[in-house]
Chain A
């Protein structure tokens, strides 16, 4: 069993309404040092070991877990899951 962590965020240049709102709210709270906030999604997969596993995870991201028109994703191999 392998564990993958996937981080989905908006592509550069795509407006992120929740991120922009959090950015303003932090400024209002006195955290003027915050230059930018981006809010995305965190997805964790546990996958049965098999050939082409990572490529298949990327395919899952392209097809369903992220929308390549507006989003990009980063896959992190988190090592073996607890058994």
Chain B
């Protein structure tokens, strides 16, 4: 199984993802944003960064990169697609995931390791038990996820909410636990089918116990196990 990491102009986390995959013994390569051929890749990752300078809105221009048409078709065929941070923003702009991103409440760029609660979901990328608390860094200015009330209810009832910001013990504060103000404390969601997954935290930064820990490892290894089982 081979992972392909898309390089947009302004991506800056693609190398971290490649290094993380290699550390975990996974086959991985880069995909240029101008390419329209994904053959040879079994999973596609849209990395973090500031694609196209975040101009107009985060992800708004990257969404129209030549490669994205093929990424949409890849996902429609059931191919697994992961979007991390700016990758998540691109997935919402491309309507591959519902909702949209606003500036963080408080207007601060947030860079810190935060606790996240794994929810019960249909997501193929995560097979951790419900209620597991992982600690993963976030690093963004526009992670304040929003969607209308009906969309939020659908996300919940379809099992599309994958990760929520939480307190260290896994509980959620009455006023919300999301440092960026995200609706329903949402940090990561998937599509109805479960093959497209977007999250604001950076699991690729937490794979090496010598460096930062291992909480991010399952976000790359679960999909390998899932694909092997299909």
Contact = CB atoms under 8 A, between A and B. Distances in A.
Contacts, number: 38
A15 B181 contact: yes
Contact of A18 (B64, B93, B99, B103): B103
Category for how many chain A residues contact B? 10 to 19
B147 interface: yes
Nearest to A63: B64
A29 interface: no
Given A21-B107, A69-B147, A14 B60 contact: no
Nearest to B60: A64
Which applies to chain B's interface (DSSP): helix, strand, loop or mixed? Answer: loop
A37 interface: no
A65 interface: yes
Interface in B179-213: 181
Contacts of B93: 67
B57 interface: yes
Nearest to A41: B56
A70 B103 CA distance: 12
A50 interface: no
5 contacts: A17-B107, A17-B181, A64-B60, A69-B92, A70-B102
A-B pairs, top 4 by smallest CB distance, nearest first, are A69-B100, A17-B103, A70-B100, A17-B105
